[in-house]
Amino acid sequence: MNTHLALSSNAVEQSDVLFAVMKTFARSLLVLMLCLPLLGQTTPAPSAQAAVAPVSPSAASAAVQSTEGNPDVRVWVNTATGVYHCPGSRWYGTTKQGDYMTQAEAQKKHYRPAYGKVCR
């Protein structure tokens, strides 16, 4: 009877090993299938990148002004991540590390607005 138990225990161990190998193979195959389309993509030719039209200085300054928002708004800067939050937002004043300052100060210190949206 003990021999029968030893044989069935050995069969279970072999089946566990086989399952682990099949699982690893399946994961590898899935990664390959997901990444294969990315391997076929190419970067644009240098001439296509140079074909971008230059932006006029007045248009560039208008774009900068529209993204700066209100410089006098008091924001909360998460000093651990370098992101500032506007009043009324979820993380305003609630992160573990941070400091209050105006939006203009935050921008001068190269902090970036949360979610890419400046405070108005």
The 10s digit of each residue's pLDDT in 55-66 is 555 554 444 444
Q: What is the pLDDT of residues 9-56, one digit of tens each?
A: 777 778 888 888 888 888 888 887 787 777 766 665 565 555 555 655
Q: How far is CA 106 from the centre of its chain?
A: 22
Whether 107 contacts 73, CB under 8 Å: no
